[in-house]
Amino acid sequence: MKKVKYYYNATLQQFEPLKVPLWKRITHVFVFLCATLVTAAIIVAIAFRTIQSPNEKRMNSEMNYLQEKYELLKKDMFLVRSKLTELEERDNHVYREIFEAEPISFAERQGTNAVEEKLLERKLKPFSNEELLHEMDKSMNEMKQRMQVQATSYDALQRFIEQKKAMLASIPSIQPVSNKQLERIASGFGARIDPIYKIMKFHAGLDFTAPSGTPIYATGNGTVELAEYHEGGFGNHVWIQHGFTYRSHYCHMLKIKAKKGQVVKRGEVIGWVGSTGKSTGPHCHYEVEKNGEKLDPIHFFYNDLHADDFERLVKIASRGNQSFD
């Protein structure tokens, strides 16, 4: 049975049935439907934001996996980039300096570090799949460019090595007498007390003491320029022209073996230790010249010595003592 609503009619002072017009009924129904639809839309929107579909869950899981892998790969790339930077610095500051080649500029090697800067700027921001791939591609291209330049540099250095093998073999880079115990340098390069005049004079070489008759070796490949007795104080002496603007000088020999014009190899015996000329005891006075300028021979003994031995030899040679000639 339909429920009937009443209202009080004050004019007639009685209750009468409430009659609602049709248009009001339609309006009420329309408002109710609209409210229902809005409420449903809000619920659906909230559900879409908070409740993931199986497909969304899968995609988010893949995204998280990719980002984790990307972070690991970025760490590996950082290590590779650090090692590559170390190789580049060694290439520029060691190998290329040895072979007198121009260093490769930073711009030539990699152009820019913008990729790394961008990654640092965005390290806390999430990446989309497309952005991850794009950034990774740029990083890989940068690494490829740097590795290609480094490989080209090593190829060029190999050519330098081939071209300069003759120079490396010719530079006077060993000690002229056997000195395994590093005890035979009696006087170094520079100002020393003259053993005859007892005044400070410039000593243009190194004095190696050794028993009379000890072999003296050519310190680099070259051609004997002079082999004779010197009246001015060098006694029996030999000059070797090594080429590449280098010459070496060996003095006070007991006897000369090398002949003028003879081609000699590094380590070949050219004479024997003696005390001829202006000398106070058996020794070999040894000099090195480049472009006519006297150089400290001790800086050329890199073929003979380890780093610790070289440091010890430098300390021995730097003592301000009296020379032997």
Residue 109, Cβ density class (10 Å: 0-12 exposed, 13-18 middle, ≥19 buried): buried
- Number of structural domains (the chain) is 3
- pLDDT of 100: 63
Considering 170, 193, 225, which residue would you say is the last residue of a domain? Answer: 170
Give the domain CATH number at 254. Answer: 2.70.70.10
Q: Which residues pair with 285 in a beta bridge?
A: 207, 251
pLDDT, averaged in runs of 10, over the chain (325 residues): 68 72 75 81 74 73 76 76 75 66 72 48 52 69 76 76 80 89 77 67 86 95 96 93 94 96 96 92 92 89 71 71 54
In a domain, 154, yes or no: yes
Assess whether 214 and 248 both reside in one domain: yes
112 and 217 share one domain: no
Q: Has residue 180 been placed in a domain?
A: no
Note whether residue 257 is domain-resident: yes
Q: Domain check: are 81 and 43 in the same one?
A: no
**What DSSP state is assigned to residue 213?**
T
Closest CA to 99 of 150, 166, 146, 151: 166
Spell out a b/e string for 45-56, using b for 16 or more CB atoms within 10 Å of the CB, else e. eeeeeeeeeeee
User: Do 191 and 164 belong together in one domain?
Assistant: no
Could you tell me which of 237, 224, 232 has the C-alpha nearest to residue 286?
237
pLDDT of residue 219: 95
Residues 113, 37: one domain? no
Strands 269-273 and 235-243: unpaired
Q: Which residue in 257, 239, 262 sits closest to 249, CA to CA?
A: 239
User: Which string of b and e fits 138-161 if b means at least 16 CB within 10 Å?
Assistant: ebeebbeebeebbeebeebbeebe
The length of the chain, given as a count of residues:
325
Q: How are the residues of the chain apportioned to helix, strand and coil, as percentages rounded to the nearest 5?
A: 45, 25, 30
Q: Domain check: are 310 and 194 in the same one?
A: yes
**CA distances (Å), origin 166, targets 160, 171, 300:** 11, 9, 16
Residue 91 forms part of a structural domain: yes
Question: Any bridge partners for residue 4, and if so which?
Answer: none
Same domain as 161, residue 209: no
- How far does the chain reach from its first CA to its final CA, in angstroms? 141
* For helices 129-170 and 54-90, angle between their N-to-C axes, nearest 10 degrees: 20
> Are residues 202 and 230 both part of a single domain?
yes
On whether both 203 and 308 belong to a single domain, the answer is yes
The reply to whether 118 falls in a domain is: yes
Distances (CA, A) of 191 to 174, 176, 188, 294, 296: 23, 22, 9, 13, 12
Whole-angstrom distance, CA of residue 84 vs CA of residue 79: 9
**pLDDT at residue 95, rounded to an integer:** 64
Q: Which amino acid is at 266?
A: R
The answer to whether residues 217 and 267 touch, using CB atoms and an 8 Å cutoff, is: yes
- Looking at the fold, whether 92 and 152 belong to one and the same domain comes out as yes
Instruction: Out of 170, 196, 228, pick the residue that ends a domain.
Output: 170
Note whether 82 and 23 are same-domain residues. no
Residues 200 and 312 in one domain: yes
**pTM, two decimal places:** 0.51
Domain that holds residue 218: 185-317
200-203/293-295 β-pairing: unpaired
